[in-house]
Amino acid sequence: MYKRGIVAVASFMLVVSAVACFQGITLAKEARIDPMKLYIKHCSDCHDKNGKPTDFGKELESTDFTDKNWQANTTDEKIVKQIADGTPEKMMSFKEKLNSDEMKALVPVIRSFVKK
Ligand code: HEC
């Protein structure tokens, strides 16, 4: 009887910790944003991984993020707005694909391309 109790408690603990562990994993997944991964996935058709327009991007006259003047004359809000709204016939809107945290997380990526 005593032994059975221990087994029951032990397996109960096992289930509890397995559930806790599983929830921990899914929570961490939801909270984690990898901005560079988002950039490569959604932006790199037109803006390359160094912030320059790709060949395809050049045809559409994509912005060169390494341009100091452009960086100096834009604001973080404008960058977020561009990602959300895009430019008709040039860049699509990402409102449906990215949430506002993800859009904000892309700002430092865009800012990181400027030549020092
Ligand atoms: C289909 C090609 C394409 C994709 C994909 C794309 N862009 Fe663009 N992007 C452009 C073009 C073209 C422009 C220039 C638009 C203009 O002149 O108004 C631009 C301009 C911008 C600008 C500058 C706007 C300004 O104020 O001058 C930002 C910031 C930007 N893109 C960010 C992004 C981010 C971040 C992503 C990914 C989430 C992305 N773009 C995906 C084509 C693209």
Top-confidence residue, 11 or 63: 63
Which residues approach ligand 1 with their CB closer than 6 A?
42-43, 45-47, 57, 60-63, 74, 78-79, 82-83, 87, 90-91, 94, 106, 110
CA distance 68 to 85: 23
Q: Which fold has domain 33-116?
A: Cytochrome Bc1 Complex; Chain D, domain 2 (1.10.760)
Top-confidence residue, 32 or 98: 98
Residue 27 has pLDDT above 60, yes or no: no
Domain boundaries, the chain: 1-32, 33-116
- 40-70 tens-digit pLDDT: 999 999 999 999 999 999 999 999 999 999 9
CA distance 91 to 73: 20
Average pLDDT across the chain, whole number = 88
CA distance 24 to 114: 37
Predicted structure pTM score? 0.80
- 85-102 tens-digit pLDDT: 999 999 999 999 999 999
